[in-house]
C-alpha cells in the first residue's frame, strides 16, 4: 500500500515507521518548518502533500492519505478528498467539531442520555466571572478550538471558584469559546475505538491517562505523560459510551480513531472531551497490544470489515520520555535540538515493538532529538497485570539515554493502588 501522511508537527512518527517496516511505501508532508527534522533520514518527506496526490491516486484502492490533526478546516478537507475519490483516514468535519467545540459535544451527548446540567458555555471571560459570583462552586475551565493547548485549561482547587475567576480575569478581552464544568469527583477513564465509516471495529480499548508533568499529578497540564491501556473487558463501557453515537459517526462518514474521556463515579459516566484523531501517545501505547498490523487494520477501516481485529490480552503501560522545552514549545523557550538518542545493549524484537520514536530523526547517521516540543519517545511494556507492564516499561526506559531526559515514575500506580478495583466494584469493567 501507499501512505501519505499529512501533518503539522509529525506526532505519528512511530506509526509511519511501522508501516514502512511492514513493506508499505510511506511519504510525509510536515507543514511546520521547525518540525521537519522529525523522521529526517527515516521517512521520505515531500514539500507539499498536494503534490503527492497523483502518487496516491495512481495506487488506486491501495493508496491512503493519513491526516493527523483537527486543525481548523482539516476535517472538511478530508470530507472533500473522500468526495473526490481518495481514501482518507484520520477524521471528518464532524469529528473536528466534536473535539474543538466542547459545548456542542456536551449538548449532543446530553441528547444521547449522558448527564447534563454540569456544563456552562461562555464566549466572554467577564460573563463567566459574573456567573461564578452568583454560583460559587469548584470548576474546571476548558477552552474550545485547536489553537488552545492543554496547559491553557485549569482545574480549579477552591470550593468557591475564586481561583478560576483569577484565571478568567487574566483573559479579559479574550475571544473564543470555553466552558466551565462543575468539578466532579471520580476516576478518569477513556474509551477509544476505530471507526470505518459505518461501524466501530471491535474491540474498543480502555485507557487511563496521566496528564500532569510531575509524579503525583503535580505541575503543568501536558498533552500526556503516560497511559495505561487494555482491550480487555471493554465491551460494557463501550456500549454505555461510544456505542451510543455510532449512527452519528456513520451519518458523517467519520473514518479514523475516536476516544471519549470521562469521569466515572457511583452516580454515572460524565463525559469530558473527545479526541477524534490518532492521539499521541495513545496510538503508541496500543501498538504492542494489536496483533493485526497497522496496514491490515487500515485496510479493514477502508473496506468496512471484518468487524473485529486481533489483540493481545493484558495491559500496556506507556511512559513518555521528554526533553526540554517540553511542556512548552521552542517558539516559547529556546532549547537546542540534536541531542543524541542512545540505547544501552542490543535491542531485540520485543524491545523494538515497545520503543516508539517521537520527535527524532537522523543527523550524520545518528538518531537525535528534533521538533517543536520535546515529545522524544514513548516506551511501552506489556503484561497480564498493570504491575507486570509497569516493570517491563520502566526496565526498558532505563536502557534509553538522552541528555536532560525527564519522565514520570508513577504511571499506573493509582490504578494498582485501588482505582481498578473500584471500577470493578462499580460495574464499569
Look over the chain and give the mean of its residue pLDDT values, rounded to a whole number. 94
* Residue 336: closest CA among 43, 44, 37: 37
106-161 pLDDT, tens digit each:
999 999 999 888 989 998 899 999 999 999 999 999 988 777 777 788 999 999 99
Spatial distance between the Cα atoms of 120 and 209, rounded to a whole number of angstroms: 25
351: nearest Cα among 392, 386, 295, 311: 392
Average pLDDT over residues 265-284: 92
pLDDT tens figures, 198-236 = 999 999 999 999 999 999 999 999 989 999 999 999 999
pLDDT above 90 for 71: no
Please tell me the least confidently modeled range out of 26-40, 169-183, 307-321: 169-183
Residue 174, pLDDT score: 66
Mean pLDDT of 174-180: 82
Q: What is the DSSP letter of 349?
A: H
At residue 398 the predicted structure's pLDDT band, cuts being 50, 70 and 90, is very high
Integer Cα distance of 428 and 107 in angstroms = 23
Average pLDDT over residues 168-188: 86
Cα–Cα distance for residue pair 345/228, rounded to 1 Å: 26
Min mean pLDDT across 168-172, 232-236, 285-289 is at 168-172
Instruction: Convert the pLDDT of each residue in 319-353 to its tens digit.
Output: 999 999 999 999 999 999 999 999 999 999 999 99
Query: Taking 90 as the threshold, does the pLDDT of residue 94 lie above it?
Result: yes
Evaluate the CA torsion angle 302, 303, 306, 311 in order and state its sign: negative
H or E stretch covering 108: helix 102-111
Residue with cell 497540564: 221
pLDDT at 171: 75
Both ends of the chain: CA-CA distance in Å? 37
The predicted-structure confidence for 44-57, as pLDDT tens digits, reads as follows 999 999 999 999 99
Q: In the sheet that 255-265 helps form, which strands lie side by side, from edge to edge?
A: 268-275, 255-265, 187-196, 200-214, 218-230, 315-322, 375-383, 355-357
pTM of the model: 0.94
**Confidence at 73, pLDDT banded by 50, 70, 90:** confident
Q: Which residue has cell 510525509?
A: 28
For residues 92-116, average pLDDT: 91
pLDDT of residue 232: 98
Q: Beta strands 375-383 and 315-322: pairing type?
A: antiparallel
Residue 175, pLDDT above cutoff 80: no
If you ran DSSP here, which 8-state letter would residue 26 be given? E
Assess whether pLDDT exceeds 90 at residue 356.
yes
Q: How many CB atoms lie within 10 A of CB 216?
A: 11
pLDDT exceeds cutoff 80 at 246: yes
Amino acid at each position: 500500500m501507499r501512505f501519505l501522511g499529512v501533518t503539522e508537527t509529525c506526532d505519528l512518527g512511530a506509526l509511519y515507521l511501522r508501516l514502512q517496516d511492514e513493506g508499505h511505501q510511506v511519504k510525509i508532508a510536515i507543514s511546520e518548518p521547525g518540525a521537519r527534522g522529525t523522521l529526517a533520514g527515516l521517512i521520505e518527506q515531500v514539500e507539499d502533500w498536494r503534490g503527492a496526490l497523483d502518487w496516491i491516486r495512481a495506487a488506486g484502492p491501495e493508496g491512503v492519505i493519513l491526516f493527523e490533526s483537527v486543525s481548523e478546516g482539516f476535517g472538511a478537507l478530508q470530507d472533500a478528498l473522500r468526495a473526490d475519490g481518495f481514501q482518507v483516514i484520520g477524521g471528518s468535519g464532524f469529528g473536528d467539531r466534536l473535539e474543538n467545540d466542547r459545548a456542542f459535544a456536551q449538548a449532543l451527548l446530553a441528547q444521547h442520555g449522558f448527564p447534563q446540567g454540569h456544563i456552562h458555555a461562555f464566549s466572554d471571560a467577564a460573563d463567566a466571572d459574573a456567573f461564578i459570583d452568583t454560583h460559587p462552586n469548584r470548576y474546571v475551565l476548558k477552552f474550545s478550538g485547536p489553537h488552545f493547548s492543554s496547559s491553557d485549561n485549569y482545574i480549579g482547587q477552591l470550593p468557591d471558584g475564586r481561583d478560576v475567576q483569577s484565571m478568567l480575569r487574566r483573559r479579559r478581552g479574550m475571544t473564543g469559546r470555553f466552558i466551565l464544568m462543575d468539578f466532579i469527583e471520580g476516576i478518569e477513564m477513556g474509551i477509544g475505538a476505530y471507526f470505518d465509516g459505518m461501524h466501530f471495529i471491535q474491540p474498543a480499548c480502555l485507557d487511563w491517562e496521566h496528564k500532569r508533568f510531575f509524579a503525583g499529578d503535580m505541575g503543568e497540564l501536558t498533552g500526556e505523560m503516560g497511559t495505561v491501556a487494555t482491550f480487555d473487558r471493554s465491551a460494557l463501557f463501550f456500549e454505555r459510551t461510544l456505542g451510543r453515537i455510532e449512527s452519528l459517526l456513520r451519518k458523517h462518514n467519520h473514518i479514523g480513531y475516536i476516544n471519549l474521556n470521562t469521569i466515572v463515579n457511583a452516580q454515572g459516566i460524565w463525559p469530558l472531551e473527545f479526541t477524534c484523531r490518532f492521539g499521541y501517545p495513545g496510538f503508541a501505547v496500543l501498538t504492542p497490544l494489536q496483533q493485526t498490523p497497522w496496514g491490515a487494520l487500515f485496510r479493514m477501516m477502508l473496506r468496512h470489515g471484518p468487524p473485529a481485529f486481533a489483540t493481545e490480552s493484558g495491559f500496556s503501560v506507556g511512559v513518555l520520555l521528554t526533553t526540554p522545552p517540553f511542556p512548552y514549545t521552542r517558539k516559547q523557550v529556546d532549547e537546542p535540538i540534536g541531542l543524541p538518542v542512545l540505547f544501552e545493549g542490543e535491542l531485540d524484537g520485543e524491545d523494538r515493538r515497545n520503543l516508539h520514536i517521537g520527535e527524532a530523526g537522523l543527523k550524520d547517521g545518528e538518531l537525535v532529538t528534533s521538533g517543536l516540543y520535546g515529545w522524544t519517545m514513548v516506551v511501552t511494556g506489556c503484561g497480564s497485570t498493570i504491575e507486570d507492564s509497569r516493570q517491563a516499561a520502566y526496565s526498558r526506559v532505563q536502557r534509553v539515554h538522552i541528555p536532560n531526559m525527564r519522565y514520570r515514575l508513577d504511571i499506573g500506580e493509582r490504578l494498582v493502588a485501588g482505582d481498578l478495583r473500584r471500577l470493578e466494584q462499580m460495574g464499569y469493567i
